[in-house]
Amino acid sequence: MPSASTPTDPARTPHNSMVPARTPHNPTVAEPQDGRQADSHRHHDRPNWYRVVEPGIRAVEARLHQALVDPRLGDPIGKVALHLIEAGGKRIRPALVLLAAGACRDDLDDVAVPIACAAELIHSASLLHDDVLDEGDRRRGRPTSRIVWNNSFSVLSGDYCLALALSEVASTGHIEAVLSLNRTVTSMVNAEAIQIRSRDELDLSRAAYFEVIQGKTASLMAWCSSLGGLPADPETRILETFGLELGTAFQVTDDLLDYFADPDELGKNLGKDLSEGKVTLPLIEAIEEKPELRDAVAHLTELPEQDALIEARSVMQAVTRTGAIDRTRQVAIGHADKAAASLADLPASTFRDALVDLAHFAAQRAY
């Protein structure tokens, strides 16, 4: 596993072969073609923050499984979601809900589990849709659901996960949590729209980049850590700030790993952002340091995506040589430190310590 300070050189980590996507115009295929045999995700030991709330996470997983194998659900909607959910995942969002509930008060169990289920469902819905938008072909070491089935079933399964999430939150009886989830999903949708409109925008500002990642990632983490705004007391504000900073650290790291990671460790292909014209912090940092790189990147945006993916490798190496990866890692660490510091006024507990661990994990991770 590459450490945070000495990541694997992408020149030595070949891209995994690309599987051509079936088009959304082929909606007749209801059974997976290649999903089961292709797991290549390396096993990771569960970190400390996970172990603190492991029984709660297992309860969330069992509840999601139960809901998605419901025989009343049209085939293959449940299977499509389970293909993603049961491939693993770090479970950061449900852990965040459960840890925040523990750190905040001891009477929140009845709301924490449904809110944690909703968090994982919203995340799953957004990934099912995101892989259609980004033409993602590999996630969590597996071909994405849209490759195994097709775009149509991925979109529908994401829609269903969203509906299930809303009923989980409604089951708490707290209308404020439903409304705050509504605002969160709106931020996610708006951020994705900005990102799509900014494709190939090589002069994207840092401010615009941070606006996108706060909307698409940090807003949901803030919803999780504030337990959907429940209960409305001073701890909720503290935990919301924590989630925003944690989410920012997490997405900055995600963007860094697209340039510089071991793809088997990460469970995704590298170089997608660059080949798609998605401008993220490593590229902003690199062009700032070496403006000549802009022309090489502009050339990539003119190529068909498959060719761009091949040519992207040399640009990724050039980006890395500017020191942009290390600087980006420092930005992520800065946000993780802010997240950890924001918890100073919460009472000391195992849960608070685990939240601090989680913040550091978000910025230091290699997967």
Cβ proximity to Mg ion, 60 vs 148, nearer residue? 148
Q: Which helix (H) or strand (E) holds 142?
A: strand 142-143
Name which position in 113, 162, 204, 222 contacts ligand FPP (CB under 6 A): 162
Question: Is residue 192 involved in binding ligand FPP (CB under 6 A)?
Answer: yes
Cβ proximity to ligand FPP, 268 vs 313, nearer residue? 268
By rule CB under 6 A, what count of residues binds ligand FPP? 17
Task: Give residues 314-343 in contact with ligand FPP (rule: CB under 6 A).
Answer: none
CB contact at 8 A, 274 and 315: yes
Burial status of residue 302 (CB atoms within 10 A of its CB: 0-12, 13-18, 19 or more): exposed
Cβ proximity to ligand FPP, 81 vs 185, nearer residue? 185
Name which position in 81, 111, 122, 221 contacts ligand FPP (CB under 6 A): 122
Tokens of 112: 């924490």
Cβ proximity to ligand FPP, 126 vs 241, nearer residue? 126
Name which position in 120, 130, 137, 245 contacts ligand FPP (CB under 6 A): 130
How far are the Cα atoms of 177, 264, 310, 366 from residue 138, in angstroms, in the given order? 33, 11, 17, 17
Name which position in 53, 115, 126, 324 contacts ligand FPP (CB under 6 A): 126
Question: Is residue 134 involved in binding Mg ion (CB under 5 A)?
Answer: yes
| SS3 call for 139 | strand
Specify which residues 138 forms β-bridges with. Answer: 143
Angle, CA of 62, 352 and 348, to the nearest 5°: 135
Query: DSSP states of 13-82 as a string?
Result: SPPPPPPPPPPTT-TT--S-SSTTTT--PPP-PPPHHHHHTHHHHHHHHHHHHHHHT-TTSPTTHHHHHH
| SS3 call for 267 | coil
Count Cα atoms within 13 angstroms, Cβ side, for 1: 14
Question: Is residue 147 involved in binding ligand FPP (CB under 6 A)?
Answer: no
| Cβ count near 233 (within 10 Å) | 10
CB contact at 8 A, 347 and 241: no
Name which position in 129, 146, 352, 360 contacts ligand FPP (CB under 6 A): 129
> Residue 188's binding partner, choosing from ligand FPP, Mg ion, none, with beta-carbon cut-off 5 to 8 A by kind?
ligand FPP
Specify which residues 143 forms β-bridges with. Answer: 138
Name which position in 130, 254, 273, 276 contacts Mg ion (CB under 5 A): 130
Cβ proximity to ligand FPP, 130 vs 262, nearer residue? 130
> Residue 217's binding partner, choosing from ligand FPP, Mg ion, none, with beta-carbon cut-off 5 to 8 A by kind?
ligand FPP
Name which position in 125, 218, 239, 315 contacts ligand FPP (CB under 6 A): 125
In the DSSP assignment, the letter for residue 345 is T
| SS3 call for 173 | coil
User: Which range touches ligand FPP (CB under 6 A), out of 129-137, 199-207, 224-232, 285-293?
Assistant: 129-137
The nearest distance, CB 333 to ligand FPP, in angstroms, is 19
> Residue 216's binding partner, choosing from Mg ion, ligand FPP, none, with beta-carbon cut-off 5 to 8 A by kind?
ligand FPP
With a CB cutoff of 8 Å and minimum separation 6, the contacts of 157 are 76, 77, 78, 80, 81, 128, 145
Question: Is residue 89 involved in binding ligand FPP (CB under 6 A)?
Answer: no
> Residue 145's binding partner, choosing from ligand FPP, Mg ion, none, with beta-carbon cut-off 5 to 8 A by kind?
none
The nearest distance, CB 216 to ligand FPP, in angstroms, is 4
Task: Give residues 211-270 in contact with ligand FPP (rule: CB under 6 A).
Answer: 216-217, 254, 268
> What residues line the site for ligand FPP (CB under 6 A)?
122, 125-126, 129-130, 134, 136, 158, 162, 185, 188-189, 192, 216-217, 254, 268
